């Protein structure tokens, strides 16, 4: 019986190790309170990206739903990187992720820490409605995160649960 519990513990540990690493994150957000004269007063959207929160330097933007004025952003236009060592910044690639080019369609969305996603900033430029070199920003935003474990982690966790169930059932039959 002890050997079976040991095997179960090893499987659980393997699941924990497999869960660390790249995970798909979806961030739904709403930003409002832009300065007077901003062409768009409230912006809502979502970004889905796959990355390891412990090593944000690499990963992919999988999908984006973001319309600002007349421009609809595509995943290929968006990148992300570490921000202030414990946060993240998503942004348009027209200038670079962390700068704003007012004469294009551009944006950034950042927060300083994963422990509080609503402390940060959203900014945008929507050419030609914002004119050359004009952009608008706000700290009034709401961000909600959803994480989706990778399929391999789910499969490994399911296998471990089935194996533990089978071991318990076999042990109860032997009594």
For 165, phi then psi, to 5°, come to: -60, -45
Give pTM, 2 decimals. Answer: 0.71
Q: Which residues contact 144 (CB under 8 A, 6 or more apart)?
A: 27, 28, 29, 117
- Please state, in angstroms and rounded to a whole number, the distance separating the CA atoms of residues 63 and 78: 9
- Please state, in angstroms and rounded to a whole number, the distance separating the CA atoms of residues 162 and 166: 6
Going by C-alpha positions, the residue among 115, 116, 102, 55 that lies closest to residue 80 is 55
Q: How far apart are the first and last CA of the chain?
A: 11
Token pair 């979806």 is found at 26
pLDDT in tens, the chain (175 residues): 545 544 444 544 444 444 467 889 999 999 999 988 888 889 999 999 998 877 776 789 999 999 988 889 999 999 998 888 788 899 998 877 888 877 788 899 998 888 888 888 999 988 776 566 577 889 899 999 988 765 665 566 666 777 777 777 777 777 6
């Amino acid at each position: 019986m002890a050997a079976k519990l040991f095997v179960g513990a090893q499987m659980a540990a393997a699941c924990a190790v497999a869960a660390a690493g790249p995970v798909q994150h979806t961030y739904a957000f709403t930003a409002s309170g832009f300065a007077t004269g901003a062409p768009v007063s409230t912006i809502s959207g979502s970004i889905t990206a796959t990355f390891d929160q412990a090593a944000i330097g690499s990963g992919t933007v999988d999908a984006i739903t973001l319309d600002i004025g007349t421009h609809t952003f595509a995943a290929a236009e968006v990148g992300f990187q570490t921000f202030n060592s414990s946060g993240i910044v998503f942004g348009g690639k027209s200038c670079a992720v962390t700068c704003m080019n007012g004469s294009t369609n551009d944006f950034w969305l950042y927060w300083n820490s994963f422990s509080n996603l609503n402390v940060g900033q959203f900014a945008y430029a929507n050419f030609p409605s914002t004119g050359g070199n004009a952009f608008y920003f706000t700290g009034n935003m709401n961000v909600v995160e959803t994480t989706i474990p990778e399929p391999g982690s789910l499969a490994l966790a399911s296998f471990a649960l089935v194996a533990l169930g089978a071991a318990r059932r076999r042990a109860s039959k032997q009594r």
